[in-house]
Structure 1
Amino acid sequence: MGSHLSVLGQSFPPKPNFRVDDIPDLTGKVIIVTGANTGIGKETVKALLAHNAKVYVAARSEEKADVAIKDLKGSTGKEAIFLKLDLGDLKSVKSAAEEYLSKETKLDVLFNSAGVMFPPKDLLTNDGYDLQFGTNVLGHFYFTKLLLPTLIATAKSAPDGKARVITTSSSAHVLSGLTFSTFKDGPARKKLSTADLYGQSKNGNVVQALELARRYGSEGIVSIPLNPGNIKTDLARHMPSFLRSILNLFLYDVEHGALTQLYAGTAPEAVELNGKYLVPWARLGPTRKDARDPKIGEALWEWLEEQVKDI
């Protein structure tokens, strides 16, 4: 019951104390935002560009990303850079990291912001994983792993000695534990609903981000998972329309949706939040108890490592 009450509190948060105007000047910072052609990701890029960061828009569709980049240039006067990334295809993830590293020698902040929600259950990743877990968790894990040496090197030379990995989870992470036998397609996965699988993937985001914090905090990595709030984006496109119309009555705009991750990724004081979980708007909040269990974190990390070792 406690978890559900805390989710309710996060659904109707108090007014934010942090505003986009509070973001410091980001001149010289290099940042990647995944899923940045739309929704919260795009809004995040807009604020980062407006504060002089060099930003890579990591997305599957070059066509959609180009439209977003043009639109962002119109509103900020700054041009983001496209990085082709399909999180549902591990070879594409590897190519994206290689492409980035051929252009840049530093990475100050990685926003793991992309996500899929409630896709038809028969959809899998190119590698045969549940589409939600494979995209939201495994794809982001591999991308982060490939960029980790650069993040650590950047932290060493940064004035505050830190580089940040910000992972967008959801209040839905409290709804589902991790059942390893459902990460790939099979009988156990088929028994779960798309909502179960979504909750599990968002829990996986938290578990993986907290394990990253435990493993690499001493090397200057600040890993923060968060719930961005209940936000009006096209993430809900697979929901039945009647449900969507009810939900829309309780949703906030994308400007609010980007606030918590912008705080985590840019506020000077947020470097002290390695291994903490944030809720709307830029506040510390509770997670599922088992999401903080180091044994579960280690088990998930080892499973993820196993999946990507031969890509």
Structure 2
Amino acid sequence: MARDPGFWPVFVQGFPPKPKFHPDQIPDHMGRIVLVTGGNSGIGYETCKEMLKHNAKVYLAARSPEKADAAIASLKVETGKEGIFLKLDLGSMASVKAAAQEFFSKESELHILFNNAGVMVPPVELLTTDEYDLQFGTHVLGHFYLTESLMPALLAAVRTSPDGHARVVTTSSSSVYLERLHFETFKDGPERIKLGKAALYNQSKHGNAVIARQVAKRYGDQGIVSISLNPSTIQTSLQRHFPAVVHMILKAVLLKPVEYGVLTQLFAGTMPEALNYNGEFLIPWARLGRAHPECYNDEIGERLWDWLQGKVRAFEARQS
């Protein structure tokens, strides 16, 4: 069993060196189609903004039509470009399926998928519609199902892309180092409650890195580049479930502006150099790093992939 790296990488990555990458370096993306989950706020909003500024066609995927419409209106003011709303609740497998179907009714290709949306330490009793842990179901199962559903569009984009690739960029966290996978906690039950909401969050972000690497292994030879990353500790609505005093302390000491938080995933999704990082884990700001050692364990990765695939197949069987 791999040795836990402990809190040290979390601390070190919380104070990264001055960034060398700036969004102004992003190449023109005219003709490319981008989908950003959780695009209505925080890092997702900034990702949509920069991709629109660089002439991509951007689908903003979010749960709330009202919040999405407000974000799209704001993006129009900031960029002069119009984002496109895609209704998506990653905590509902039916919603993921419907979102993929809606996307395919409009597009046949997808050049960049930003698996960005997230929820952080909500009340532990909250579950997904399908009764999975809310954080695992949103971050891991929901994004897995979405990525697999949209894979035909990603592969189609490979065939027409100038660089012969399409990209899947998954927002993990420095929390990747703080927990392993506990399969008995993915669904509701006493073990999940016992693990607690903070560890459940850490586990889900660990799972993001595991699956991102598996996507690279399974589809890399077909032109898919899959990268996971730690965006750093960023001031966004993600901390809305934190106690007020904790949030105040974090804001004073650690949290950084969202304009910094978007850097690493923009680099992963757009820059030619990132094509060399398939299956890797990036750290702030747009640097190559290493996730928890178990994220590179193929036996664990295959077990998680099979578990997720089994749940998707069971869901789809119930729909037919």
Cα deviation, 1:199-252, whole Å, max 9, x if unaligned, reads: 000000000100111111001000000000110001010011110000112111
Aligned partner letter, 2:120 = M
Structure-2 residue corresponding to 1:289: 293
Residue matched to 1:260: 264
What is aligned with 1:59? 62
Alpha-carbon distance between aligned partners in 2 of 1:6 and 1:286, rounded to the nearest angstrom: 9
C-alpha deviations, 1:91-110, integer Å up to 9, x for none? 00000000000000110000
- Give the alignment partner of residue 190 of structure 1, picking from 181, 190, 193: 193
Q: State the superposition RMSD in angstroms.
A: 0.8
Distance verdict in 2 for CA 1:2–1:306, change over 3 Å: closer
Does structure 1 conserve the Cα–Cα contact (< 8 Å) formed by 2:231 and 2:284? yes
CA distance in 2, matches of 1:179, 1:227: 21
Match of 2:147 among 144, 147, 168: 144
User: In structure 1, what is the Cα distance between the partners aligned to 2:127 and 2:197?
Assistant: 12
Distance 1:52 1:160 in 2: 17
Distance 1:6 1:251 in 2: 16
Residues 6, 286 of structure 1: 8 Å contact kept = no
Amino acid of the structure 1 residue aligned with 2:39: A
**1:101 counterpart = 2:104:** yes
Gaps of 5+ in 2: none
Q: Cα offset for 1:254? A: 0.6
- For 1:283, the aligned partner's letter is R
In 1, the alpha carbon distance for the partners of 2:244 and 2:210 equals 32
Q: Deviations over 1:52-88 (max 9, x none)?
A: 0000000000000000000010000000000000000
Alignment partner, residue 213 of structure 1: 216
Trace 1:1-311 onto structure 2 (pairs within 5 A).
2-249=5-252, 250-309=254-313, 310-311=315-316
Where structure 1 has 5 or more consecutive residues not aligned to the other structure, the ranges are none
Separation in 2, partners of 1:15, 1:9: 13
What percent identity do the matched residue pairs reach?
Answer: 58
- Secondary structure at the residue paired with 2:45? helix
With over 3 angstroms needed to count, the CA separation of the structure-2 counterparts of 1:2 and 1:142, relative to structure 1, is closer
The CA distance in 1 between the partners of 2:5 and 2:58, in whole Å, is 39
Please report how far the alpha carbon of residue 2 of structure 1 lies from its aligned counterpart in structure 2 after TM superposition: 4.1
Query: CA deviation digits over 1:99-157, x for unaligned, max 9?
Result: 00000011000000000100000000000000000001100000000000110121122
CA distance in 2, matches of 1:9, 1:139: 30
> How far 1:5 moved relative to its partner?
1.7
Contact 1:26 1:53 in 2 (8 A): yes
TM-score, length basis structure 2:
0.96
Q: CA separation in 2, counterparts of 1:257 and 1:42?
A: 11
Code of the aligned partner of 1:153: A
On the 8 A contact 1:34/1:114 being kept in 2, the answer is yes
Task: Quote how far apart the aligned CAs of 1:8 are.
Answer: 1.4
CA contact (8 A) 1:32 1:57 kept: yes
Distance 1:2 1:303 in 2: 26
Paired residue type of 1:143: L
Q: For residues 117 and 7 of structure 1, what CA distance do their matches in structure 2 show?
A: 17
Secondary structure (helix, strand or coil) at the match of 1:41 reads helix
Runs of 4+ in 1 over 6 A off after TM superposition: none
**Contact map agreement 2:5 2:177 (CA 8 A) in 1:** no
Q: Which whole-Å CA distance do the structure 2 matches of 1:29 and 1:273 have between them?
A: 21
Instruction: Give the Cα–Cα distance (whole angstroms) in 2 for the partners of residues 234 and 248 of structure 1.
Output: 12
3-state SS of paired residue (2:228): strand
TM-score between both structures, scaled by the size of structure 1:
0.99
Tell me how far 1:173 sits from its aligned partner. Answer: 1.2
Displacement, 1:191? 0.5
